[in-house]
Amino acid sequence: MNRRELLLMTGGVAVISVLPGIAHATSATSVTTRAAANAAKLQVHSGAAFGSSWRLVVANSREADLASGRLQAVVARIDRLMSPFRADSEVARFNAGGVLSMSGETATVTHASLALARDSDGAFDPTMAPLGRRFGFGPTAISPARPVGRYRDLQVAGNILTTAKPGLSVDYCGIAKGYALDEIARALDGLDFFVELGGEVTARGRHPSGRPWLAGIERPGSNVLQRRVKMHGRALATSGDAAQNYWVGGRSYAHVMDPHTHSPVDNGVAAVSVLAATGLIADGLATAAMVMGPAAVRPLLSAHDASALFLMRRAATLEEVDINGFVKEAAV
C-alpha cells in the first residue's frame, strides 16, 4: 500500500485517516505492518459528489454499507435542492425566475449565506457566479452575461427568496458542501467514522488504533503535507488557489472571486484552512478568509469561535500565519 493509495488529495486537504500514528515509529517495517493492520479494520467507500468526490472511512466493517448508503442519500438530497448545475434544483428555479419558495434546508443555507455575507462585509457573496464565469470558473448553467449583483440585492421573507434585480443568480457552492457535511455527520451519529467531502472534513469517535482520526493540509501544488490535523468533532475546510487556476502575463487567476475588486483574489494567500464547529461555518469562512486575508479576517473568525491557518506566498516560499491558535488546536 503506497502513499497515493492511503491519501486522497482534494481541494488542498489530504485525507490521512488510515495512516498509523508514526511519530515514534522505529523502522519502515513496523510502519508498514501497523498500516496494514489498521487498514484491515477499516472500510473505505468513495464516490462522486457536487462535481468533486466523497470518501467515507468507517471503523466497524459491519456498519460500512449502512453508513455509505446514508451518506449517499444526503448527497443526493442536497444536490437535488441546491445544485446550480441541475435545471430541476431549487437554486436553478430561482435563477430562472428570480423568486423561490424554499424548502427548509435551502432556507437554512440561504439565511446562513446572507448572514456570513453581512458579517464579512461582502467578502463572502453568493451572487458572484457570473463574475467567476467571466474568468472561466463556476457552473456553466449560469451565463457570464448575467448581471453581477451584491448579496444586498437578495430579499428573504420567511421561506420566500426574491430579488428586484432582473437576472440576478445565486450559487451556494461556497457553503452548501459544508452544510451537506453536517447533515452526513448527523446521519451517521453514533458511529466511528471519518468523512471527506470535496476537501471538507469531519469525523466522530476514534480510529480503530485508539488514536483520533487525522486529516492533513497539503502544501498547494504539491504532494507534501504542510500540517497534520487532529479531528475532534470540529469541521475542517480549506480554500486555495492551486486546484483551479491559470496563469496569464505572470499572474495567477484562481476560482475565488473578490466581490470588492470584481476579479480573482490576488492578495498573497495561497491557501487557508479553517477549523470551526460546523461544516457550514467552516466552508463559508474559508471562502471569506481567502478574500479578506489574515489581518482583516481575525474578528470574523473570533465571532464564530473558529481558527485558521493561512499559507502566504512570500517570494519563493510559503509562510504560515496562525489565527486564533489553529496549530495548537490541530496538534497531533
In tens, the pLDDT along 200-236 reads: 999 999 998 889 999 999 888 778 899 999 998 999 9
Q: Give the pLDDT band (50/70/90) at residue 27.
A: very low
Of 270, 255, 285, 272, the C-alpha closest to 116 is: 285
Q: pTM here?
A: 0.87
Give phi and psi for 322, each to the nearest 5: -95, 125
Q: How many residues does the chain have?
A: 332
DSSP 212: P
Pairing of strands 8-10, 200-204: unpaired
> Average pLDDT of the chain?
86
Which amino acid makes up residue 56? L
Of 305, 283, 279, 69, the C-alpha closest to 185 is: 279
Q: What is the pLDDT of residues 132-172, one digit of tens each?
A: 999 888 788 899 999 998 999 999 999 999 999 999 999 99
SS3 55: strand
C-alpha cell at 211: 488514536
Of 141, 168, 35, the C-alpha closest to 82 is: 141
Q: Give the pLDDT band (50/70/90) at residue 250.
A: low
Q: How far apart are CA 258 and CA 248, in angstroms?
A: 18
Residue with the bigger pLDDT between 11 and 115: it is 115
Residue 246: per-residue pLDDT: 55
Q: How far apart are CA 294 and CA 309, in angstroms?
A: 9
Across 39-43, 105-109, 306-310, least confident range:
39-43
Place of cell 488504533: 209
- H or E element, residue 329: helix 326-330
